Amino acid sequence: MSRVKRSVHARKKRRATLERAKGYRGDAHKSYRKAKEALLKADTYAYRDRRNRKRDFRRLWITRINAAARQEGLTYGQFMHGLKLAEVEVDRKILADIAVRDPETFRRFVERSREAAAA
């Protein structure tokens, strides 16, 4: 079996790892071993937090909708229940944006919700 010389590829791999670890503190941007460990952690956090970001944004939207709904005299739960009964299919992201940017339109959603809940 012929011999495989890896030095070019090994150096390329190490250089790529150190390039990705640029800006890390201490040995994590200088030492290949430390950089590799730091990148494993960083990638784990990035993967986890891509999912957590969705969670965080949903919480933000719900908080905004709740605040706007309470100004109109409804709780978040009552408002969303009324929308469901009125068969209004607008997601929370859009509702939160409307609540912040266009209070008059949001007021109309609240009225639809109230009417559906009362009926």
- Digit-coded pLDDT (tens) for 52-106: 999 999 999 999 999 999 999 999 999 999 999 999 999 999 999 999 999 999 9
Asked whether the beta carbons of 54 and 47 are under 8 A apart, the reply is no
pTM for the model stands at 0.82
DSSP, collapsed to helix, strand or coil, labels residue 102 as: coil
User: CA nearest 119: which of 90, 87, 86?
Assistant: 86
User: What does the alpha-carbon distance between residue 83 and residue 111 come to, in Å, rounded to a whole number?
Assistant: 10
User: What does the alpha-carbon distance between residue 6 and residue 8 come to, in Å, rounded to a whole number?
Assistant: 6
- What is the identity of the amino acid at 74? L
User: What does the alpha-carbon distance between residue 83 and residue 73 come to, in Å, rounded to a whole number?
Assistant: 15
Question: Domain 7-118 maps to which CATH number in 2.30.29.30, 3.40.1360.10, 3.20.20.70, 1.10.1900.20?
Answer: 1.10.1900.20
Kindly tell me if the per-residue pLDDT of 8 is higher than 90: yes
